[in-house]
Chains A and B, each alone.
Chain A
């Protein structure tokens, strides 16, 4: 299978001297569901934002869709970005607009300058958006103001907007960090099923170890900007978890009864 994203020896040093990514290399294959875990400040957010060049990297290369995305500028960068959907912890919707309008924002990157500026979306885009909202259980909310939705619903609009981009890759920045346990489960399941159905690769930053284990094909562990673990959920044992978080497993809230020592017995 082809790689949809590859990092080659990527480093990111912020002007304040913090080294957020240090010699990071990995590939994400088409349709793969990858979780990225690691303590706060380990570089998870920077990694995601380097993938679509929202943050410029200091050295190394990021390839997405066959292009070195870190080199692109202007319209070529925009067309590379539209092939990569992004989902945010704080949903990042325009709350004054309707759910449908927010969903259609995913099409802006495909439209001509004038029609995009005036918000003249094509009828086929509108139909696709309504169908997608229906699939996400938001059919009755298409004309609600985004600000009137609950957290879980807002995140589903965020997913709809990203999927409208018809991406090869979804970048999800802590998509369930602000949600209650039940909405979190809904969102993770929707993400996984939508992505698998459409063959979209996913990179999900997570703080919830149990969610990472349950939904991922593969887990990447970051610590101080370096990849210290890269393997299947079954391979994430107590020693690996300690390496990522820098502390013994007893000091971590791993969630549920998933005790890392027994990880081999997990599904």
Chain B
């Protein structure tokens, strides 16, 4: 018994080794191309640390007159995320009905609906914000629309999957009973998929609360814009406290929606 018995087939082992080698090679190539060296990061870590500890810390409270503005900006960001996600969910539901071959009354067009959603989804929210910002100018309208487009595209995809998972069987049975398309939607697709739709909707709200801060920074309004203006005017202490509050808000919303989702999916 001198040779050890391998647990994996030699083919699989070779594949794993190849994969690991490829990852390492890619890392080296990418590092060389970007000119980044780990040494740079560690060499200048003193600078970064100094900036963080002296400029950002400790968090400072803004002047009392600005507190109301900041609070309102927070509410704007929350409202922007909620409103855009809700509008997107309603539109996505209608769109998704036509994006599934097994549910849509026009199965041949389903591919194009999915293709359209994929196209919209693959353009990042930030890019949409820049595009809209150039045409609409600064304001919550830009943030709302940018979030609406991407979450609409995302939920269309997610809703189609949910519908095909849970309702294609009962849609078939109602089809056989002579029910019309709106009847099939109301009596089969909606009740069968409701918990799934709500779960995706809540997930999307979580994502959009984070995204609406970032979209705000490029002109979408809300707390992102306020934060950006403090950073640009070198009020790093105040920016720091806003960042901490954003993190707290995201955590709280995640907790709440996570709990609701768990209850719904029971």
Chain A contacts to B: CB under 8 angstroms? 52, 54, 75, 78-86, 88, 90, 92-97, 101, 105-106, 108-110, 113, 116-117, 119, 158, 161-162, 165, 171
Given the interface contacts A105-B179, A109-B179, does A96 sit within 8 Å of B173 by beta carbon? no
Partner of B191, one of A54, A83, A94: A94
* Nearest CB of chain A from residue B186's CB, rounded to whole Å: 6
Number of interface residues of B (CB under 8 A): 21
The 10 A-B residue pairs with the shortest CB-CB distance in the complex, in nearest-first order: A109-B178, A82-B178, A92-B173, A86-B176, A81-B178, A108-B179, A78-B178, A92-B169, A96-B191, A94-B170
Nearest residue (CB) in A for B105 is A74
* B47 close to A (CB within 8 Å): no
Nearest residue (CB) in A for B194 is A96
* B192 close to A (CB within 8 Å): yes
Taking a contact as CB atoms under 8 Å apart, the answer to whether B178 and A119 are in contact is: no
Task: For A94, list chain B residues within 8 Å (CB).
Answer: 167, 170, 187-188, 191-192
Nearest residue (CB) in A for B172 is A92
Taking a contact as CB atoms under 8 Å apart, the answer to whether B170 and A84 are in contact is: no
Taking a contact as CB atoms under 8 Å apart, the answer to whether B177 and A86 are in contact is: yes
**12 A-B residue contacts at CB 8 Å?**
A75-B180, A78-B178, A79-B178, A85-B176, A92-B169, A94-B167, A96-B192, A105-B187, A113-B180, A117-B186, A162-B177, A165-B178
* Nearest CB of chain B from residue A118's CB, rounded to whole Å: 8
Partner of B177, one of A75, A95, A105: A105
Taking a contact as CB atoms under 8 Å apart, the answer to whether B173 and A88 are in contact is: yes
* B175 close to A (CB within 8 Å): yes
Task: For B180, list chain A residues within 8 Å (CB).
Answer: 75, 78, 113, 116
Taking a contact as CB atoms under 8 Å apart, the answer to whether B172 and A95 are in contact is: no
For window 21-80 of chain B, which residues contact chain A by CB distance below 8 Å? Answer: none
Task: For A110, list chain B residues within 8 Å (CB).
Answer: 178
Taking a contact as CB atoms under 8 Å apart, the answer to whether B177 and A165 are in contact is: yes
Nearest residue (CB) in B for A84 is B176
Taking a contact as CB atoms under 8 Å apart, the answer to whether B177 and A81 are in contact is: yes
Given the interface contacts A94-B191, A94-B192, does A109 sit within 8 Å of B175 by beta carbon? no
For window 195-220 of chain B, which residues contact chain A by CB distance below 8 Å? Answer: 195
Given the interface contacts A88-B169, A95-B192, does A81 sit within 8 Å of B176 by beta carbon? yes
* Nearest CB of chain A from residue B202's CB, rounded to whole Å: 18
Given known contacts A94-B191, A96-B192, what 14 new A-B pairs fall within 8 Å (CB)? A54-B172, A75-B180, A82-B178, A86-B176, A86-B177, A94-B167, A94-B170, A105-B187, A106-B177, A108-B179, A117-B183, A117-B186, A161-B177, A165-B178
* Nearest CB of chain A from residue B21's CB, rounded to whole Å: 39
Task: For B186, list chain A residues within 8 Å (CB).
Answer: 117, 119
Task: For A78, list chain B residues within 8 Å (CB).
Answer: 178-180
* Nearest CB of chain A from residue B166's CB, rounded to whole Å: 8
Nearest residue (CB) in B for A158 is B173
Query: How far does the alpha carbon of A97 sit from the alpha carbon of B166 in the complex, in Å?
Result: 13
Query: How far does the alpha carbon of A105 sit from the alpha carbon of B184 in the complex, in Å?
Result: 10
Given the interface contacts A92-B170, A96-B194, does A52 sit within 8 Å of B179 by beta carbon? no
* Nearest CB of chain B from residue A81's CB, rounded to whole Å: 4
Query: How far does the alpha carbon of A104 sit from the alpha carbon of B164 in the complex, in Å?
Result: 23
Task: For B175, list chain A residues within 8 Å (CB).
Answer: 54, 81
* B10 close to A (CB within 8 Å): no
* Nearest CB of chain B from residue A153's CB, rounded to whole Å: 16
* Nearest CB of chain A from residue B169's CB, rounded to whole Å: 4
Query: How far does the alpha carbon of A90 sit from the alpha carbon of B167 in the complex, in Å?
Result: 12
Nearest residue (CB) in B for A75 is B180
Taking a contact as CB atoms under 8 Å apart, the answer to whether A108 and B178 are in contact is: yes
